[in-house]
Structure formats: structure tokens, C-alpha cells
Amino acid sequence: MQVYIAFFEYVNGKNGKDGYSVVFPDFPGLVTAGDTYEEAYRMAHEGLAAHVKFLERKNCAIPEPRTMDQIENTWEDWDEWKKDNDFITVPINKLPVSTKAKRINIFIKEGLLAKLDMVAKNRSEYISQVLEQSLM
């Protein structure tokens, strides 16, 4: 699994609206943000996945992840970031974006399965939706 470095910057916004902005040195122009760190982290994963999927659809090359040393030595915006911003670096996994279903076997307690059957017509679809909402 490829892991890209993202820079998270705390933004002290106007009108008391603080948040976090996120940039990816390996993907010029890929910027996202969130009102909280958790939201920015989720948006970073979603943004990276969507950007990679877009590049793949356009048959563009996906850049290899750079190390922090490589970013410091080769990223054209490094000097500006280093002097002007307080930021943290966060590794972001390039998660696969696939809508293809895959069969798996799982164990679920009988009582929980009975509750699931009371609210869902399709177990797999319901479990997938719940997982997607809770993990994003």
C-alpha cells in the first residue's frame, strides 16, 4: 500500500471559524480542509482517493510517494512552508477505490444477526453501508 505525506496546517480563521488545511506535496493542486482535525483527516483520504482515481481514468502517471527528505530537497514550495507555517506531517494511505463487491465469511452473534434481519432486507448491503459511514 502506498503512503503519501500530507501537511496539515491549523488555520485560525476569521469570525472564530478555525480548522485545518491539507496539502499533498506529491500531488500539486490537491488541497482539502476540515473544521476539525478528524474531518480534515477524512477529507484527506477521500481527496487522495478521488484524485488518484481521476488520474487513472485520464491515463496519467501516479507519482511515487516521496520521503520527507525527498520532499525537503525537491518540493518547490518547501522553503515557503518551512518558514511561514506551523504544520504537522501525516501519512495518508492510498486506499483503493473500488465498487466491486468481494465475498467474505464473517461470524456474527445470533442475537445481533436477528436484529440485523429486523432492519435490513439485504444483509451485505446494510453492513457495507454501515461500514462505509463509520470508517469515513
Q: Are 27 and 63 in contact (CB under 8 A)?
A: yes
User: CA 22 to CA 24: how far, in whole Å?
Assistant: 7
User: Which residues of the chain are under the pLDDT cut of 70?
Assistant: 1, 84-86, 91-99, 133-136
Tell me: the pLDDT tens digits for 109-121?
999 999 999 998 9
DSSP category for residue 27:
S
User: CA 7 to CA 90: how far, in whole Å?
Assistant: 6
Fold of domain 3-93: Double Stranded RNA Binding Domain (3.30.160)
